Amino acid sequence: MFTFSSTQASVNDTQPLDLVAAIQTLKQELNAVILAHYYQEPEIQDIADFIGDSLGLSRQAASTSADVIVFAGVHFMAETAKILNPTKQVLIPDLNAGCSLADSCPPDAFAAFKADHPKHLVISYINCTAEIKAMSDIICTSSNAVELVRQIPQDQPIIFAPDQNLGRYVMAQTGRDMVLWKGSCIVHETFSERRLLELKVEHSSAEIIAHPECEAAILRHADYIGSTTALLNYTQQSSADTFIVATESGILHQMQKQNPLKHYIPAPPTGTCACNECPYMRLNTLEKVYWAMKRRSPEVTVSEQTRIAALKPIQRMLDMSA
């Protein structure tokens, strides 16, 4: 029987196992790299070789020389790593770590939507399944969506999927009209405009910073909008000393680590729930990272036909991004 505390596991009552040390040993044995998203638990972020936003993580996955990629993030992220690295083993701590946004765009319905707009170029946010990527022309992330759309000729009609909030934000930034798939993220839809403004009254010198997956009612109050990496960088560069942060609260760990003298307040959700924590991201734990490496499972796989089709738009994104 195996039991765990947060950073210790015991194989029996007399043999406690230091999880961090055990993960480091397995990393050497497997020649593994641990990639983690900012929405992971702090203790997972602290053992990662690289922490980043979706673009940064894709770039790391594309360039790693490791034999095994342990992806502490959600399924579509690990799947992207697999698409880029068909010969490497890609492990995910919990196979149920999905994404409400990716789920909001089922392949059959999207194929029909695409067929209704035969002249449109399909730009899909990376938060989608490999099947949706395979039906797309270009993949984008929150850090390059505006830049990529600006590179498309003005007379080329565009479908943007699956996040309608990011799509609307890109439309506002570029002045382009796009046909939007009406998907969204349960975490970024949770923030309350009224409570955000109450917080701003309480902390008048605070800057509001937001992820573009948030609804327009939140984004319109933001002093700065960007991907998780961009938000993190902004808190370090800005002269403000307090920030109200409208994205998943996991990012606060790196903000605090990088500048502990500043203050970071998570933007409040509508109710009293912890809805600003992504329930999928938080399925991953340090224990599950250990077991995934020890058992070399669960593994993320993609059929070769889908992989080849999905690789093209991902590669196009990497080529088109600065």
Is position 53 an interface residue for ligand 13P (rule: CB under 6 A)?
yes
Is position 280 an interface residue for ligand SF4 (rule: CB under 6 A)?
yes
Tell which residue, 159, 176, 69, has the closest CA to residue 113. 159
Minimum distance, C-beta of residue 184 to ligand 13P, in the bound complex (Å): 11
Structural contact between residues 255 and 266, judged by C-beta atoms closer than 8 angstroms: no
| Residue 129, contacted partner among ligand 13P, ligand SF4, none, CB below 5-8 A by kind | none
Per-position x/- string for 238-277, each x denoting binding to ligand SF4 as judged by CB under 6 A, each - no binding: ----------x-----------------------------
User: For ligand SF4, which residue of 122, 185, 206, 275 counts as binding (CB under 6 A)?
Assistant: 185
Element housing 23 (H / E) = helix 19-30
Stretch that binds ligand SF4, among 167-175, 185-193, 235-243, 305-313 (CB under 6 A): 185-193
* Cβ distance to ligand 13P smaller for residue 9 or 278: 278
Structural contact between residues 36 and 61, judged by C-beta atoms closer than 8 angstroms: no
Is position 281 an interface residue for ligand SF4 (rule: CB under 6 A)?
yes
* Cβ distance to ligand 13P smaller for residue 26 or 100: 100
User: For ligand 13P, which residue of 142, 165, 184, 284 counts as binding (CB under 6 A)?
Assistant: 142
Structural contact between residues 52 and 65, judged by C-beta atoms closer than 8 angstroms: no
* Pair of tokens at residue 253: 């760990």
Contacts to ligand 13P from residues 239-268, by CB under 6 A? none
What single string gives the DSSP state of each residue in 299-313? B----HHHHHHHHHH
Is position 105 an interface residue for ligand SF4 (rule: CB under 6 A)?
no
- Separation CA 179–CA 40 (nearest Å): 32
DSSP H stretches of helix in 179-277: 193-202, 216-219, 228-237, 252-258
Is position 184 an interface residue for ligand 13P (rule: CB under 6 A)?
no
CA 260 to each of CA 17, 263, 293, 322: distance values in angstroms, whole numbers, following the listed order: 31, 8, 32, 30
- Separation CA 34–CA 71 (nearest Å): 6
Structural contact between residues 53 and 62, judged by C-beta atoms closer than 8 angstroms: no
Is position 141 an interface residue for ligand 13P (rule: CB under 6 A)?
yes
| Residue 136, contacted partner among ligand SF4, ligand 13P, none, CB below 5-8 A by kind | none
Q: 3-state class of 122 per DSSP?
A: strand
* Cβ distance to ligand SF4 smaller for residue 152 or 187: 187
Minimum distance, C-beta of residue 125 to ligand SF4, in the bound complex (Å): 9
* Cβ distance to ligand 13P smaller for residue 141 or 174: 141
User: For ligand SF4, which residue of 51, 74, 148, 159 counts as binding (CB under 6 A)?
Assistant: 74
Is position 101 an interface residue for ligand SF4 (rule: CB under 6 A)?
yes
Element housing 36 (H / E) = strand 32-37
How many whole angstroms from its chain centre is CA 112?
A: 27
Structural contact between residues 41 and 92, judged by C-beta atoms closer than 8 angstroms: no
* Cβ distance to ligand 13P smaller for residue 4 or 224: 224
Residues in contact with ligand SF4 by CB under 6 A are 74, 99-101, 127, 185-187, 248, 278, 280-281
